[in-house]
Amino acid sequence: MRDTGTWAGGHPFDLQQRRVPPGASVCPLHAHAQQFELFVVLAGTATVRTGDGTRTTVRTGDAFVQPPGTAHQITNTGTEDFIFFVIADNLPTDSTYYPDSDKWQIKPHRKLFRMTEVDYFDGEE
């Protein structure tokens, strides 16, 4: 089962082969709080955008890691499908921040939300 670690009978890592058509992005710009992701490019060309605005071209044969806390987005900037493996450690919990839309996702619930800062004792009275 996708994204299900040892706590639920799965593996300690998640392996996916992804195919992205020209002009499309794999997902929005995002940063995991705990999860590492290893990418292995099988075919095509793409641009990896990071949270600081850096853009790096990756192509067939390249491999790269996105560590926790590093915002990243992969967009197919080539003329053919961009195909890659992504291997991620499969943690029982993780949060993901989407800086372009200022939202969060919490794993394992996969619920998306936006935060509003409150006082530590708010609602505890």
Q: Any idea where the domains of the chain sit in the sequence? A: 6-92
The amino acid sitting at 64 is F
Q: Give the DSSP letter of residue 6.
A: G
What confidence tens digit (pLDDT) does each residue in 99-121 have?
999 999 998 777 888 988 888 88
Whether 46 contacts 74, CB under 8 Å: yes
Q: Percent of the chain beyond pLDDT 90?
A: 67
Select from 78, 71, 88 the least CA-distant residue to 28: 71
Q: Determine which of 1-5, 49-53, 55-59, 103-107 has the lowest per-residue pLDDT on average.
A: 1-5
- Which residues are bridge partners to 64 per DSSP? 39
> Tell me: domain 6-92, CATH 2.20.28.160, correct?
no
Evaluate if residue 1 carries a pLDDT over 60.
no
pLDDT: which is higher, 62 or 94: 62
Q: Percent of the chain beyond pLDDT 70?
A: 94
**Please, what is the average pLDDT of the chain?**
91
Rg (CA), the chain: 16
pLDDT of residue 93: 85
pLDDT of residue 45: 98
